[in-house]
Amino acid sequence: MTIGGSIALIIVGAILAFAVSFDIAGISIQIIGYILMVGGIIGLIFGLVVAQRRGRATETTRVVDDRDVY
């Protein structure tokens, strides 16, 4: 999950949890909002960790000259 997708989940979850006030029989819209927010936060943390590891990776190239000197 990308960082942008995680932020979108958090936003949609917050809207459902705090701004929507209707109920569907047997389904709590607020609970679905909280679940989406938690999923977005977990995805955001995972995305940031992966991005940080990707930024640390470095590649070192060393050229060795194997010619004999006379």
Q: For the chain, give every domain's residue range.
A: 3-56
* In the block, residue with structure tokens 């990776």: 57
pLDDT score at 57? 60
pLDDT at 60 over 90: no
Is 42 within 8 Å of 1 (Cβ atoms)? no
Is 11 within 8 Å of 36 (Cβ atoms)? no
pLDDT score at 41? 96
Q: In terms of pTM, does the model score above 0.85?
A: no
pLDDT digits (tens, 9 = 90+) for 10-55: 999 999 999 988 878 888 899 999 999 999 999 999 999 988 887 6
Output helix, strand, coil percentages for the chain, rounded to the nearest 5: 65, 5, 35
